[in-house]
Chain A
Amino acid sequence: MTKNLNLLVLGGTSAIALSIVKKRLDDCVKYDRNLSVTLVGRDKGKLEVESQHLQSIGVITTMEISDLSGFSDDVFKSGIQYDDVVIAYGSLTDQERAEGDREYREYQIQTNFRSTVEWMEASVQHFLSHGKGNMIVLGSVAGDRGRLSNYIYGTCKGAVEIYAQGLSHRFANKKGINILLVKPGFVDTPMTANIDKKGLLWAQPDKIAHDVICAINKNKRMIYTPWFWRWIMLIIRNVPAFIFEKTKL
């Protein structure tokens, strides 16, 4: 039997992250490896439910109850050497509220950007001390262009992308350390539970996870998922402002 695969999931109730864990498990079963996962999140009850499920299907799990928007590097001090770190927590910002409520706005920026930076840096340090690792950061297509309906959330996600780009550049010549920024389109997850999901643009977390694993295997730096968002966003980014600003997007 080869070595265990260790995963750290920041945002242990994220449907996309949990789907990534299950895909990793399928691979581990195939190659007769064990999979250990540390789930970090705020909601103990929900983490327990997810952890129970993962244990049932053969994953070794550890839980860490922690508010990810406040950063603490305790989880890296456990002695576990993580092969993958999935940064999947976040808060879908209520744009209107964030415009008028400074405290809320700061909290959103703290959650979706500032703390993410700390987690990315801590992960990088962790990888450097072991010589390798994959970082999977969930960005969003919302980060591609500022739009009136969600530019505060979009700014955070866009900033995270630039940060991830910088890290990718920094480790461009360092084999073994990979940073993947994932830009999902509309995904049917708890985060979007209040949005009516009609139409072909909505994807299941399983599909996103599938694309993420393919991208890691190919050492990609950034993916849109599902694939067609690349082309949708190409158009969105290039529409001239005088037309774009007439829309309510």
Chain B
Amino acid sequence: MTTLKPWAGVAEYTGTVNRPDYLSELSIPTLEKSLAFFGQGRSYGDVALSAGKHCIVTQKLNRFISTDWEHGIIRAESGMMLGEILKYAVPRGWFLPVTPGTKFVTLGGAVANDIHGKNHHQTGSFGNFVRTIGLRRSDSEDVLTLSRAENAELFEYTISGLGLTGFIAWVEIELKPVCSSYFDVENIRFSNLNEFFELSKLSEDFPYTVAWVDCFAKGNALGRGIFTRARHSQEDGTLAQLASDSKLTLPINFPSYAMSRMNIKAFNKVYMNRPGATFKGKQHFGKFLYPLDGFLNWNKLYGKRGFYQYQTIVPMENARETISELLKAIEASSLGSFLAVLKIHGDETSPGKNSFPFAGASLALDFPNVNRKIARLFAELDQIVEKCGGRLYPAKDFHMSSSAFKNSYPNWKTLEELRDPAIQTKFWKRVTEQS
């Protein structure tokens, strides 16, 4: 019996864990609803946790199968981490077309959650760059090849399929060319939500945009923060420079009061006024894209009881009002934390049928799991999101109700039909079997 705990430390799985070393050694149990696949445990809640007693961990399936460095096309086993791809791709002039805020996610997880990044408004989600997927289902030893042309429906439902359609054995993606490992980055302070939306509008042609928000600001300052926009640097000759792998590890869980309102308020004030808040210049991709990866285990900041992340996306029309309503509710609850991220998304172009993003504004916040008031706040936020036709991100979720999920992800029924009968996750059980 082994216990697996995803990133936020609130959900867990206990049962058998199998960690195959080679794809050829993988055996998939056929027992109904017994199994799920787990990568690096970087999803936050229960999306990768088996509802049965079997779990296959893909961490050791982390090899390249073929690479065409001339055209930037790579095929790798599903347990390969995105950071590992960057390690070998960047010196050869290639970059991930889409990356989340951590490089420690696996390819399989990136596909299953159809992850997005700071460039979503221009490029769409990860699935957009997936060429083929090797999928093994429990009824056969063969690996099916999925693509836009071959097994197209299964392809569309495996991308954003939350790992339910079968075992993702390998993934082939196309990379994008870069000539530098640096970004030209610009940080701009904004003093309220209106300014954020203006800045977003003005920065549409920047490939990477994101904003940090001070969720304790109120009144006229509601939604103030720091806007970041960036492009790949055009300067030649810096491809081989790898970021210094700073590896600060938090050895212990912090006490729960570390994330108290007073501490965060003080932190936010300092963060907003530090010189970096108006930084303009070059930043290595490691520092720009993965600022938190320097602190391995930053999740331990939230203490033993972990935390919840609330990540929602709301449609563009009324986005300003909705985000403002959400921030007001959060401020009034005084439960927020310092990790609050706001971003404008573009139209979704990924073939995934259950992908989280659409054209709109997304807001992501962490909440330490210390207080019963969280349930009340989440209920309030859920109402606001539901009213405007928004939705929550399964990869981060551990509270969404069944009805909210079913209403906001209308393709869920087809995914349920395509689900491999041997697979069931705690997330899927929670949002589809319970009413």
Enumerate chain A residues within 8 angstroms of B19, measured Cβ to Cβ. 193
Are B88 and A49 touching (Cβ within 8 A)?
no
Do A56 and B88 touch across chains, with their CB atoms under 8 A apart?
Answer: yes
**Shortest distance from the beta carbon of B281 to any chain A beta carbon, whole Å:** 26
Q: Are A56 and B24 in touch, CB under 8 angstroms? A: no
- Do B2 and A57 touch across chains, with their CB atoms under 8 A apart? no
Question: How near does chain A come to B384, taking the closest CB pair, in angstroms?
Answer: 44
Task: Answer whether A56 and B22 are a contact pair too, CB < 8 Å, given A29-B91, A196-B2.
Answer: no
Cβ of B21 within 8 Å of any chain A Cβ, yes or no, is yes
In the complex with contacts A58-B88, A196-B2, A53-B64 CB distance below 8 A = yes
Could you say which of A46, A53, A196 contacts B24, with CB atoms under 8 Å apart? A46
Q: Are A52 and B63 in contact (CB under 8 A)?
A: yes
Interface residues in B57-89 by Cβ distance below 8 A to A read 63-67, 74, 88
Report how far A99 CA is from B254 CA in the complex, Å: 50
Contact bitstring A180-194, B, C-beta under 8 A = 1, else 0: 000000000010010
Docked pose: A56 CA to B72 CA in angstroms: 12
| Interface: A45 (CB within 8 A) | yes
With the chains together, A52 CA to B65 CA distance in Å?
6
**How many A-B residue contacts, CB cutoff 8 Å?**
36
Enumerate chain B residues within 8 angstroms of A49, measured Cβ to Cβ: 22-24, 63, 65
* CB-nearest residue of chain A to B59: A188
Q: Measured between alpha carbons, how far is A94 from B24 in the docked complex, in Å?
A: 24
Inter-chain contacts of B64 with A (CB < 8 A) = 52-53, 56-57
Instruction: Give per-residue flags for A78-117: 1 if the beta carbon is below 8 A from chain B beta carbons, else 0.
Output: 0000000000000000000000000000000000000000
> What residues of chain B lie closer than 8 Å to A198, measured between beta carbons?
2
Determine whether the beta carbon of A193 is less than 8 Å from that of B21: yes
Q: Which residues of B contact A190 (CB under 8 A)?
A: 21
Distance between Cα atoms of A180 and B324 in the complex (Å): 64
**When chains A and B are docked, how far (Å) is the Cα of A56 from the Cα of B69?**
9
* Complex alpha-carbon distance, A110 and B253, angstroms: 48
Judged by a CB distance under 8 angstroms, whether A50 is at the interface is yes
**What 1/0 mask marks residues of chain A from 55 to 69 whose CB sits below 8 Å from any chain B CB?**
011100000000000
Query: In the complex, are the beta carbons of B66 and A56 less than 8 A apart?
Result: yes
Give chain B's interface secondary structure class. mixed
Per the 8 Å Cβ criterion, residues 22-64 of B in contact with A are 22-24, 63-64
- Name B264-318 residues within 8 Å CB distance of A: none
Determine the chain B residues whose CB is within 8 A of the CB of A29 once the complex forms: 91, 240
User: With a CB–CB cut-off of 8 A, which chain B residues contact A196?
Assistant: 2
CA–CA, A15 and B19, complex, Å: 14
Q: How many residues of B contact A (CB 8 A)?
A: 15
Chain A interface helix/strand/loop/mixed? helix
A53 touches B21 (CB 8 A): no
Which one of A45, A53, A193, A196 has the greatest number of beta carbons of chain B within 10 Å?
A53
A193 — which chain B residues lie within 8 A by C-beta? 19, 21
Residues of A within 8 A of B21 (CB): 15, 190, 193
Query: With A and B bound together, what is the CA distance between A74 and B336 in angstroms?
Result: 67
Q: Is the CB of A52 within 8 A of B66?
A: yes
Tell me the A14-68 residues at the B interface (CB within 8 Å). 15, 29, 45-46, 49-50, 52-53, 56-58
Cα(A190)–Cα(B22), bound, Å: 10
Query: Which A residues are CB-close (under 8 A) to B88?
Result: 56-58
Contacts of B65 in A (CB 8 A): 49, 52-53, 56
Query: Contact flags (1/0) for B378-397 with A, using CB distance below 8 Å?
Result: 00000000000000000000
A45 touches B63 (CB 8 A): no
The chain B residue sitting closest to A30, CB to CB, is: B240
Residues of B with C-beta under 8 A to A56: 63-67, 74, 88
Contacts of A53 on B, CB cut-off 8 Å?
63-65
Bound Cα distance from A190 to B21, whole angstroms: 6
Smallest CB gap from B92: residue in A: A58
**A196 to B2 CA separation, bound complex (whole angstroms):** 8
CA distance A210 to B106 in the complex (A): 23
Which residues from chain A contact B74 at a C-beta distance below 8 Å? 56
A126 shortest CB reach to chain B, Å: 29
Least distance between A73 CB and chain B CB atoms (Å): 29
Shortest C-beta distance, A194 to chain B (Å), equals 11
A53 vs B67: C-alpha distance when bound (angstroms): 9
B80 to chain A minimum Cβ distance, whole angstroms, is 9
Interface readout for B162-199 with A: 1 if CB under 8 Å, 0 if not? Answer: 00000000000000000000000000000000000000
Distance in angstroms from A32 CB to nearest chain B CB is: 10
Contacts of B63 in A (CB 8 A): 49-50, 52-53, 56
Shortest CB–CB separation between residue A211 and chain B, in angstroms?
Answer: 16
Instruction: Select which of B2, B24, B240 is within 8 A of A45 by beta carbon.
Output: B24
Closest to B62 in A: A53
CB distance from A81 to the nearest CB of B (A): 27
Nearest residue, chain B, Cβ from A50: B63
A93–B66 Cα gap in the complex (Å)? 35
Q: How far is the CA of A50 from the CA of B19 in the complex (A)?
A: 17
- Per the 8 Å Cβ criterion, residues 356-387 of B in contact with A are none
Closest to A205 in B: B60
Distance, CA A196 to CA B19, complexed state (A):
11
A131 to chain B, nearest CB (A): 32
Q: How far is the CA of A46 from the CA of B25 in the complex (A)?
A: 10
- Assembly CA distance A15 to B59 (angstroms): 13
Can you list 23 A-B contacts (CB < 8 A)? A45-B24, A46-B22, A46-B24, A49-B22, A49-B23, A49-B63, A49-B65, A50-B63, A52-B64, A52-B66, A53-B63, A53-B64, A53-B65, A56-B63, A56-B64, A56-B65, A56-B66, A56-B67, A56-B74, A56-B88, A58-B88, A190-B21, A198-B2
Chain B residues engaging chain A, CB cutoff 8 angstroms = 2, 19, 21-24, 63-67, 74, 88, 91, 240
Given contacts A45-B22, A193-B21, could you give 8 more A-B pairs where the C-beta distance is less than 8 Å?
Answer: A15-B21, A45-B24, A49-B65, A56-B74, A56-B88, A57-B67, A57-B88, A196-B2
